[in-house]
Structure 1
């Protein structure tokens, strides 16, 4: 599973880039994702080149949390697509391992 945070206005573009790699496939469905809204915050420090905000100042941004599944074999391509499409210098994201359930 991939979870990432992205400014609201950039969500569709970044999600499209990640889905283009094949992520978001669930059985016979494609382009599956879950998106929730919230507020992200960060403070760029010396050496940062923020796309939003100013070095040394706390920034709060309307962001979406996006969750989607991906096959393990796609991880490298998915993370590369996320980093290339994301507007932030250092996008926040998680790659989570999921377990297969035994069929009942």
Structure 2
């Protein structure tokens, strides 16, 4: 079965909760291992625009947040389930993420 890659950005304090949700949905399994992920810390930034309801920050003001970049694999048929779990568990109104289709 083909494994694709999910990459998302999340505030450091919320990382474990979001990881738990995507692991429960079936992400992070490689062979005889589960809960596999690569996590790196960095600084994200965003400016909420009119109409936004930010979890962190204020409309119109640039916000900088210490976040983790999380990378993990998942079986391609679970894409919709994994993305739904990410969106449900993530604290942001619009989580930043992308899915990379593994061609192997």
Band of TM-score, shorter chain:
over 0.9
Task: Measure the CA separation in 1 of the matches of 2:12 and 2:6.
Answer: 17
Q: Which residue is 2:41 aligned to?
A: 37
Give the number of equivalent residue pairs.
Answer: 100
Q: Which residue is 1:94 aligned to?
A: 98
- The alpha carbon displacement at 1:22 in A equals 1.0
Q: Which residue is 1:53 aligned to?
A: 57
For the pair shown, the structure with the greater C-alpha radius of gyration is 1
Look up the SS of the partner of 2:68 in the other structure. strand
Task: Measure the CA separation in 1 of the matches of 2:90 and 2:25.
Answer: 15
Considering fraction of residues, name the structure with more strand: 2
Which 4+ runs in 1 deviate beyond 6 A? Answer: none
Gaps of 5+ in 1: none
Task: Measure the CA separation in 2 of the matches of 1:40 and 1:50.
Answer: 14
TM-score by length of 2: 0.95
TM-score by length of 1: 0.95
Gaps of 5+ in 2: none
